Amino acid sequence: MKHRAARLLSVVLLPLHSGMNWRPERYSGISPNEYDFTPQALRIRVDSSSSPLFFPLEKNVMAKRLEVEASTNGLPKRGHDDFVLRVGLITAGDYRPSWLERVFAAKWILNLVALKPDAGLGQIIFYNVVQGGEKPTADKRMVNHTVKVVGQPGDLGFSVPLDPALDVGAVWLHADGDDTKSKFTVTVKKIALTE
């Protein structure tokens, strides 16, 4: 009888204890969030601010599940497009900005494309924790899913199946309070992609 090794489950855990390989981004004219990488968690301090963190994966993952453990000590004031937590899966695709698009594109878009210079960009599929009433930016490359609605500070965690599986090349992590001039801290303890 032959014994074969079977790959039953593969989980990619993002390193939240170290800022190494995380790429903080800035929006023009908006104060950036502050980040604390600790042995226990990543803390995102929002103070009338907004800025995403990008994490390029060493190699793409065919993700079938996204799991996040997080909490907050406050919430953005209701309205506009301030989200307590957004986790975006940046998928592989064939989009590369043209010369003209590069001239007029926001710097964060060019930096996002540059995360995987040998591959094109597909979509950014956001999994949002909301209070209700948020108005996400409409863009053909950005897809928004509400995975949890919260009404008070506390648990923000979620686990969602990805069907079909997504070819993920990078992760976008974001909390914001710039439009509503909100102040709160999000603590992220786990981001896992299951193949």
The pLDDT tens digits of the residues spanning 166-193 come to 999 999 999 999 999 999 999 999 999 9
Position with higher pLDDT, 162 vs 138: 162
Q: What angle do CA 78, 174, 26 make, to 5 degrees?
A: 105
Answering whether pTM is above 0.75, one says yes
Query: What is the per-residue pLDDT for 2?
Result: 42
Query: What is the per-residue pLDDT for 94?
Result: 86
Q: What is the DSSP string of 92-156?
A: EESB---HHHHHHS-HHHHHHHHTSTTSEEEEEEEEEEE-S---PPPBTTEEEEEEEE-SSSEE-
